Amino acid sequence: MLVKEGFNVLLVDRRDEGESTCTDGRHSAGQEESDDFAVVADWLVATKGVHPKSLGMFGVSGGAITTSLVPAKTDKVSAFAMEGTIFDFSAAAQHEVEFKGFPGFLWQLALFSAQWFHGVNLTETSVTSAIDAAGDRPMLVLHGDADTRLAYQSSVDFVAYAKSVGVDATLETFKGADHTEGMLTETDRYAKALTSFFDANLVP
């Protein structure tokens, strides 16, 4: 979608996924991954001459959760687009545990385990603090309202909070779409929303 519209795109595998380095085989709910994404932005600016005003970030599902935290980690990204993100970490973590067939309360054990055994605080950077840090950098959230993996309401709450603190945030809803299906069920509208967002908010 973005390449077809003339955007230069760098695809980044998060740590422990795809072709990226496997450090421990676990994800950190975007905490460590957003540090990595911030370093990628720093690298593009420092070594490739990309101006921050020309640099946007787009993440899907876990990548969206990671992207949502990046505003708190760097000022070198000027626009953020996310497909299916979270707002209330506790609620999302409980839902994820239940989605995988386990009792919801077990997410608290995962929180403790991450801190105790791996030194990772899964709530260190909150979504609200990252939204606050966005300032005048706009955000686009795309989400199917029939998502069974990440609750659609989380994106509604995300955008509502962003607007309440003065952040330019937009929610694009895809009726009847399950998790990340909006790009398949309404491809043209999805592509237009995404490319128009970056066209309007990034400097060529």
DSSP string for 140-167 = EEEEETT-SSS-HHHHHHHHHHHHHTT-
Q: What is the pLDDT of residue 23?
A: 58
- Which residues lie below 8 Å from residue 63, measured CB to CB, with a gap of 6+? 14
Q: What is the pLDDT of residue 54?
A: 97
First to last CA, the chain: 17
Q: What is the pLDDT of residue 155?
A: 95
The 10 Å Cβ neighbour count of residue 99 is: 13
Q: What is the pLDDT of residue 99?
A: 74
Q: What are phi and psi of 173, to 5 degrees?
A: -100, 135
The 10 Å Cβ neighbour count of residue 174 is: 24
Q: What is the pLDDT of residue 107?
A: 63
Q: Give helix then strand counts, H and E, for the chain.
A: 8, 4
Q: What is the pLDDT of residue 68?
A: 95
Q: What is the pLDDT of residue 33?
A: 85
Q: What is the pLDDT of residue 91?
A: 73
Q: What is the pLDDT of residue 62?
A: 86
Question: For the chain, which residues score pLDDT lower than 70?
Answer: 14-29, 90, 92-97, 104-123
Ordered domains of the chain (ranges, CATH): 3-8+30-201 (3.40.50.1820)
Q: What is the pLDDT of residue 71?
A: 97
Q: What is the pLDDT of residue 203?
A: 93
- The predicted-structure confidence for 143-156, as pLDDT tens digits, reads as follows 999 999 889 999 99
Q: CA quadruple 103, 97, 100, 87: dihedral positive or negative?
A: positive
Q: What are the C-alpha distances in Å from 137 to residues 3, 102, 168, 197?
A: 22, 38, 7, 12
